[in-house]
Amino acid sequence: MLGTLTRYLRLMGYDTLSANALSPGNPREDTVLLSIAAADGRLLLTRDAELARRGRERAVYLAPENPMEQVRYLAGMGLIVLSLRFDRCSLCNTPLRAARKREIESAAYAPAERQGLLFYWCPICRRLYWEGSHTRRIRRQILDADPGDQD
């Protein structure tokens, strides 16, 4: 339901769990999510109004469907700061570290021209990150989501 938002929040440096990590088909999924939020001191983001009501102060209902509108909404509430930090894996949430030369060289998808680029590595997913055109586009989208810039 909020997969794209989850990836954006991770790229912005937020320790973000996803309901997708839970076993599918659990009829008590909402209760499990609320328990995790309470136990870990997390805020539950949801598009489910009833779940948000049950979560009270631990939950935020996200009415917008568009992920960038969701980012704008969260920023407008003061819950997030709009910046791209590149310190978490967008897929698994693991903290990234500086990539080693052999990790960069072994990634078939790494750019041929590496001059001036900083590379980051997820030790769990074994995924290489760097700020290329895709990342610059995401950075621009996130910065453009600043609710203070809206008329």
- Which residue do the tokens 């570290």 mark? 97
Question: Is 145 a member of any domain?
Answer: no
Say how many domains are in the chain.
1
Any domain includes 127: no
Q: What range defines the domain where residue 7 resides?
A: 1-83
Residue 13 domain flag: yes
The answer to whether residue 42 is domain-embedded is yes
Query: What's the pTM value of the predicted model, to 2 decimals?
Result: 0.86
Residue range 28-50, pLDDT digits in tens? 888 999 999 999 999 999 999 99
151 pLDDT exceeds 50? no
Tens-place pLDDT, residues 2-13: 999 999 999 999
Q: Which helix (H) or strand (E) holds 9?
A: helix 3-11
